[in-house]
Amino acid sequence: MRPLQARIDLDALRDNYRLACERAPGASAMAVLKANAYGHGAVSCARALAPLAPAMALASLEEGRELRAAGIDCPLVLLEGFFEADEIDEAVDNGYWCVLHSHWQVEALLVALRARPGRRPPVLIKCDSGMHRLGFFPDEARSVCRRLMAHPDVGRCTLMTHFATADTADDAQLRHQMAVVEALRVDLDMPACFANSPATLSAPRSHAEWVRPGIMLYGANPLERDHPDHDRFASRLRPVMTLESRVIAVRELGVGEPVGYGARFVTERPTRVGVVACGYGDGYDRHAPDGTPVLVNGQRTGLIGRISMDMLTVDLSDIPGADVGARVTLWGRDENGGHLAVDEVARWCDTIPYTLLTGVLPRVPRRYYHHHDDEHGGDDSSRTP
């Protein structure tokens, strides 16, 4: 079998969730599992978090159906709400909490509830406090919240917003957004859900009744490098995915030899080139430049040459023991205890860790494990997402 795999450490996932709870001790934490749990496998991650998380957040009803079919029975939050009115009954009947961000959603929901009264679903009303993506402007949000809170067919209403700059060192925009929604929250006397991953870690004033840890659950640092709390949490967030493969061939090249498509890299010294079974057809970023770090048998080296669909090439010149079969860690923790942060690889590729993790394609098998018997009842290595 092809040696490429993504090893998923479920203990690390749970530890990262516990860190979110530690940082927001007065709040409940809904685990964000959208986009197939950021590429990690939604069903297996949901099962691992089910004993801990009182709710989970998703992008669509389709994502929720997969979890419900797998036996996940906690409330599921639809972060963009429903997309068509004919989704409402399924969502309400199956315990979804809908985020409402548009007037048409409010009207459609009330029509559906009048047709079948007595269900009283909880809803989250999204305020556009300054990101200008989804949500009601503050004055609209106030009137919508009051209308829904007074409606006999609507359950608990929660005020929601999303922060545009909680990950950055400059907190002016965050302070502006917080002032907007905190004034609404006090005026309306209602529970709230404001904090995403970076705010959960570093902005305690935003925690309210609910927080929404997302990327931090998977071990990526949500704070930019110049954020004053970046280093504080870098060592506490445990990587969940290790993307690893093996060297499948070794080439011995002299000086002045090109490597890979376009001859982008040309050797400047006698070079041992390792060919690794991983490429953009697996989701590895084709734009990764020469020098992007990898670990080979636990030792750092770099990519050389362009990424191919099924292969990439690395410099083995300074790792004399590396040969065919050598273990290659593209990001994550290797078996020798080495660690290559997905954040670092993302910086080399001029992107963010979200895109690397969610980009790992289905043909890459996920291997689930944890370090002791727990609610899963043993080794998860045979599980699939």
Q: Which run of H or E residues covers position 187?
A: helix 172-188
Angle at 197 between CA 193 and CA 201, to 5 degrees: 100
| Per-residue pLDDT tens over the stretch 182-240 | 999 999 999 999 999 999 999 999 999 999 999 999 999 999 999 999 999 998 999 99
Task: Tell me which residue of 304, 299, 311, 277 sits closest to 288, measured CA to CA.
Answer: 304
What's the pTM?
A: 0.94
Catalytic residues: 34, 261
Where are the extended beta strands (E) located within the chain?
5-9, 28-32, 55-58, 76-78, 96-100, 123-126, 157-160, 192-195, 210-211, 241-253, 258-259, 265-266, 271-276, 293-296, 299-302, 312-315, 327-333, 339-340, 366-369
CATH number of 241-340: 2.40.37.10
First-to-final CA distance of the chain: 19
For residue 372, the model assigns a pLDDT of 56
| Per-residue pLDDT tens over the stretch 95-120 | 999 999 999 999 999 999 999 999 99
| Residue 108: φ, ψ to 5° | -65, -40
Going from N- to C-terminal start, the domains of the chain cover 10-226, 241-340
For residue 2, the model assigns a pLDDT of 95
Q: Residues within the annotated binding site for substrate?
A: 133, 309
Identity of the amino acid at 245: S
For residue 370, the model assigns a pLDDT of 87
Spelled out in words, what is the top-level CATH class assigned to the domain 10-226?
A: alpha beta
- What lies within 8 Å, CB to CB, of 78 at 6+ separation is 58, 59, 60, 61, 64, 91, 96, 97, 98, 99
- Is there a shared CATH topology between the 10-226 domain and the 241-340 domain? no
Instruction: Give the sign of the dihedral formed by CA 203, CA 57, CA 5, CA 266.
Output: negative
